[in-house]
Copies of this chain bind each other. A is one copy, B any other.
Amino acid sequence: MAIQKSAKKRERILQAAIQTFSVNGYSNTTIKGVAEKAGVSFGTVFTYFENKENLFKASVLEPLEEVKAVMLTVPEPSDDPTKQIQEVIAKQFRFFAQQTTYARMLQYVIGQPERFQELFIELDQFSIQLREALRPLIVKGQEQGVLMEIEPNDISDSYLAFINGARLTFTDSADNEKAWDMFMRQAYLLFGPKLI
């Protein structure tokens, strides 16, 4: 029995890298630091990741799939799109509230598009996918007359900006539920509800 199954070790390194990158940024993160946090030797990091840049890319891209799953999985519109939207908002904010670490990595990359061009482009696809995911619910709400007639893309884009902004601004207490509840309520306003 191997002391440590490869995949597990790789995962440990990746998690350590995400932690460290998100706190220190790219250049200020050292492989040595990641290795120590992961509990492996310095050289072992290079057994699993070709170089620092690749480790960073993996740290950004691999967890992205989960984020996409949460952010882009939106139910078919039902009779009560208002409630559905609020539930989607709640799910997404709760998720982001927990993703302090990883969210920072995303913001770090988004904030330096020239430097991390390749990753940036990948992340930029996201807003378009979110538009498509949210549109049916928004359209339904507007048809039912419970939402104002705002261009759905504008709603999606501003909603995404808001999540990011909330996540960025509100670092102090990732667990502060009240604050996140507040942000959720405010987020809903961006969808243009006619009554609250």
- Chain A residues close to B by CB (< 8 Å): 23-28, 104, 107-108, 110-115, 124, 127, 148, 150-151, 154-155, 157-158, 160-166, 168-172, 179, 182-183, 185-187, 189-190, 192, 196
Are B190 and A186 in contact, CB atoms less than 8 angstroms apart?
yes
CB distance from A188 to the nearest CB of B (A): 10
B-chain residues with CB within 8 Å of residue A190 when the two chains form the complex: 186, 189-190
Task: Specify which of B107, B115, B189 is in contact with A23 (CB 8 Å cutoff).
Answer: B115
Q: Tell me if A127 and B171 are in contact (CB < 8 A).
A: no
Instruction: Give the copy number.
Output: 4
Interface of chain A, main secondary structure: helix
Q: Report the separation of the CA atoms of residues A150 and B162 in the bound assembly, to the nearest whole angstrom.
A: 18
Question: In the complex the two chains form, is A111's CB within 8 Å of B104's CB?
Answer: yes
- Taking a contact as CB atoms closer than 8 A, the residue among B27, B107, B154, B165 that contacts A27 in the complex is B27
Q: How far is the CA of A163 from the CA of B111 in the complex (A)?
A: 14
A108 neighbours in B (Cβ, 8 Å): 108, 111-112
Contacting residues, chain B, for A24 (C-beta < 8 A): 112, 115
Q: How far is the CA of A122 from the CA of B26 in the complex (A)?
A: 24
Chain B residues near A160 (CB-CB < 8 A): 165, 169
Q: When the two chains form their complex, are residues A196 and B165 in contact, meaning their CB atoms are under 8 A apart?
A: no
- Closest Cβ of chain B: how far from A99's Cβ, in Å? 13
CA distance A158 to B190 in the complex (A): 11
B contact residues around A182 at 8 Å (CB): 151, 154, 157-158
Query: In the complex, A186 Cα to B165 Cα: how many Å?
Result: 14
Contact B107 A25, beta carbon cutoff 8 Å: no
Please name all residues of chain B whose beta carbon is closer than 8 Å to the beta carbon of A150 when the two chains form the complex. 185-186
Of B23, B27, B127, which contacts A25 at CB under 8 A? B27
